[in-house]
Amino acid sequence: MDYKDTNAALSTVTYDKNQIEAPTENIYEAISIIAKRAEQINGDLKKELVDKLDEFATYNDSLEEVFENKEQIEVSKFYERLPKPTAIAVEEWLNDKVYYRTPETE
């Protein structure tokens, strides 16, 4: 999934509790599902960032020399400007893009 094209809020937003709990009719279950989705998104973003930073990495044995790579800095700044994983997860939840199931009902 491409998290860069999301419409999630970049800052703190107050959400309607009734909208959040509507699909499950239980606010705690809804928050649990959103939290698990946020963990998945965070893992995906972290893996993607590490992979991109490894492309620009320069390895040397000297501890005294530290090189600042402009490409690494730009990639890091880009990922810092993305919405937080929780905001993306809530946005997906409100737009019915999150699949969930309860084992008790199956």
- Show the domain range for 87: 14-102
Domain membership of residue 56 (yes or no) is yes
Do the domain assignments include residue 8? no
In a domain, 2, yes or no: no
Q: Tally the domains of the chain.
A: 1
Q: Is the pLDDT of residue 95 over 70?
A: yes
In the block, which residue shows the tokens 């990495």? 57
User: What's the pLDDT score for residue 52?
Assistant: 87
Residue 6 pLDDT: 82
Query: Is residue 5 included in any domain, yes or no?
Result: no
DSSP 57-101: ----S-SS-----HHHHHHHHHHHHSPPHHHHHHHHHHTT-----
In a domain, 28, yes or no: yes
Average pLDDT over residues 84-95: 94
pLDDT attached to residue 32: 96
- Let me know if residue 85 belongs to a domain: yes
